[in-house]
Amino acid sequence: MAAVNIALPLPVLPEGWSAEKDFKAVGELTHATDRNIEPVGPHFLAHARRKRHKRTFSEDDRIQAQSNVKKVEDEDAGEISEPEDPLMLQRDAKDWKGQDHYAVLGLSKYRYRATEDQIKRAHRKKVLKHHPDKKAAAGSTEDDSFFKCIQKATEILLDPVKRRQYDSVDEGANIEPPSKKDTQKGNFYKLWGRVFEAEGRFSKNQPVPKLGNDKSTKEDVEHFYNFWYNFDSWRSFEYQDEDVPDDNENRDQKRHVERKNQNARRKKKTEDTTRLRKLVDDALALDERIKKFRQQEHAQKNKRRFEKEAEAKRLAEEAAKAKEEEARLKAEKEAAEKAEKAEGKKAKEAAKNAAKKNKRVVRASVKEANYFHGAGDAPAAQIDGALNDADLVIAKIDNEELAALTSRLNGKKDASEIKQIFVDEVKRLIDAGKLKDGEAKFLSA
């Protein structure tokens, strides 16, 4: 064969790639399939020449060579596996509407699931068996009634439109929903799964979600019921139409029957929708998972509530504690303050008393010093003046200064000494700007 031209470029050799003699084997071929080459044409002859190469092959070789060959022809049609009901074999083909087309072809097990290929093979098997010529040959009367049933069944099942119409009303494919009692024996998934699988055949949307089992997630279960509550069905009921009279004579009658059929179809369709809805309702009601999810949700909710309450409680407790603590601290503080206050008062009292005492000492020392009059009884003016000045000094100094003054005056008997202390004190006050010069003239030098 001529070389293939490939226009796309080869990749650049990656940095660092190396191999002995620039070649490395990485993997081997996948195992091959043994097939027959057709021994036809000039190219095969060349192949045969190469392969025979002066050898001859035996019968054993033949068997060996063929042992693994991939088969391309289907196995023989084989025997009909489904037993034939004797009553069915006596059916009249005229009553084809009432016949179970799948049973007639031996496909009861498959029904809407039968492929076109299966139907064709089933048909052929039945034809081979029931052809009227064969019956005649076998000595029985030439009754081709069941043969006609076979032909009718095949005609319907191989016509996609007619088959759908028949499948719409094929009772044989229905699976009745289990009773509540049966369901509660713990077979929910098995029993209802089959029901939904059968109902799913009518769905325009495929694939149809499966019922699942007790391990299905909440999302899957929700999706499942959503799907079924929004089921889009192709099911229709024209197969059960009343025959429309085929003569042109009676047009009114024809129209009447047609209208009747239309109404009947619509009614059946509505009923079917209702039926399915009820079926889904029933399943939903029995579905333990729904309860479980509800409980879980409930539990979840409760848990959340508990948590919330606990938190609230905790917060309240915390708040109370904080409040207590605060109160305690406050009390402590107040107590301390009180104590301090009390202390202060005492001290003040003491100070006051001390000051009083001190003032008395000061005043006494003024008297001791004979009101700074020298010898002899001091005149009243001198006494008043000296005492006033002493009071003035006392008023201008604080307790500490008073105490200091007192301690200096303490035990002093000498008038001049006392006077000197007062003079010093006044001088200090004048220096400190607390007294004006000449304000305490009885105590100045």
Applying the rule CB under 8 A, the residues between 74 and 93 that interact with another protein are 74, 77
Q: How far is the CB of 72 from another protein (least distance, A)?
A: 5
Tokens representing 39?
Answer: 């021994």
Please identify, among the stretches 11-19, 206-214, 265-273, 405-413, the one whose residues bind another protein according to the rule CB under 8 A: 11-19
Site string for another protein, 30-69 (x = CB under 8 A): xxxxxxxxxxxxxxxx-xx--xx---xx---xx--xx-xx
Any contact of residue 94 with another protein (CB under 8 A)?
A: no
Any contact of residue 6 with another protein (CB under 8 A)?
A: yes
Q: How far is the CB of 249 from another protein (least distance, A)?
A: 14
Q: How far is the CB of 62 from another protein (least distance, A)?
A: 5
Name residues contacting another protein, limited to 246-285 (CB under 8 A): none
**Phi and psi angles of residue 411, each rounded to the nearest 5 degrees, phi first:** 75, -5
Please identify, among the stretches 126-134, 206-214, 352-360, 374-382, the one whose residues bind another protein according to the rule CB under 8 A: 126-134
Tokens representing 335?
Answer: 């107590």
Any contact of residue 1 with another protein (CB under 8 A)?
A: yes
Q: Is the dihedral of CA 149, 152, 154, 156 positive or negative?
A: negative
Any contact of residue 445 with another protein (CB under 8 A)?
A: no
Q: Is the dihedral of CA 304, 308, 313, 319 positive or negative?
A: positive
* Helix spans in 158-187 (H): 160-168, 180-182
User: From the centroid of its chain, how far is CA 248?
Assistant: 66
Q: How far apart are CA 124 and CA 126, in angstroms?
A: 5
Any contact of residue 9 with another protein (CB under 8 A)?
A: yes
Give 77-134 as a DSSP string: -----SPPPHHHHT--GGGGGGS-HHHHTT-TTTGGG--HHHHHHHHHHHHHHH-HHH
Contact 173, 112 (CB under 8 A): yes
User: From the centroid of its chain, how far is CA 19?
Assistant: 53
Any contact of residue 26 with another protein (CB under 8 A)?
A: yes
Name residues contacting another protein, limited to 225-244 (CB under 8 A): none
Any contact of residue 12 with another protein (CB under 8 A)?
A: yes
Q: How far is the CB of 35 from another protein (least distance, A)?
A: 5
Nearer of residues 65 and 329 to another protein, judged by Cβ: 65
Name residues contacting another protein, limited to 359-378 (CB under 8 A): none
Nearer of residues 133 and 318 to another protein, judged by Cβ: 133
| The one among 94, 134, 255, 341 contacting another protein by CB under 8 A | 134
Name residues contacting another protein, limited to 292-321 (CB under 8 A): none
User: Would you tell me how many other CB atoms lie within 10 Å of the CB of residue 157?
Assistant: 25
Name residues contacting another protein, limited to 105-124 (CB under 8 A): 116-117, 120, 123-124
Any contact of residue 139 with another protein (CB under 8 A)?
A: no
Any contact of residue 142 with another protein (CB under 8 A)?
A: no
Nearer of residues 8 and 87 to another protein, judged by Cβ: 8
Contacts of 232 (CB under 8 A, 6+ apart): 203, 204, 205
Name residues contacting another protein, limited to 152-171 (CB under 8 A): 154, 158-159
3-state secondary structure of 273: helix
Contact 242, 265 (CB under 8 A): no
Any contact of residue 127 with another protein (CB under 8 A)?
A: yes
Crossing angle of helices 399-409 and 288-368, rounded to 10°: 30
Crossing angle of helices 145-157 and 160-168, rounded to 10°: 100
Q: How far is the CB of 164 from another protein (least distance, A)?
A: 14
Nearer of residues 7 and 445 to another protein, judged by Cβ: 7
Question: With CB under 8 A, what is the number of residues at the site for another protein?
Answer: 71
Any contact of residue 413 with another protein (CB under 8 A)?
A: no
Please identify, among the stretches 127-135, 336-344, 376-384, 402-410, the one whose residues bind another protein according to the rule CB under 8 A: 127-135
Tokens representing 258?
Answer: 């047609």
Nearest to 93 by CA among 170, 147, 155: 147
Q: How far apart are CA 110 and CA 117, in angstroms?
A: 12
Q: How far is the CB of 275 from another protein (least distance, A)?
A: 26
Please identify, among the stretches 18-26, 335-343, 396-404, 408-416, the one whose residues bind another protein according to the rule CB under 8 A: 18-26
Nearer of residues 70 and 436 to another protein, judged by Cβ: 70
Contact 239, 169 (CB under 8 A): yes
**Phi and psi angles of residue 203, each rounded to the nearest 5 degrees, phi first:** -80, 135
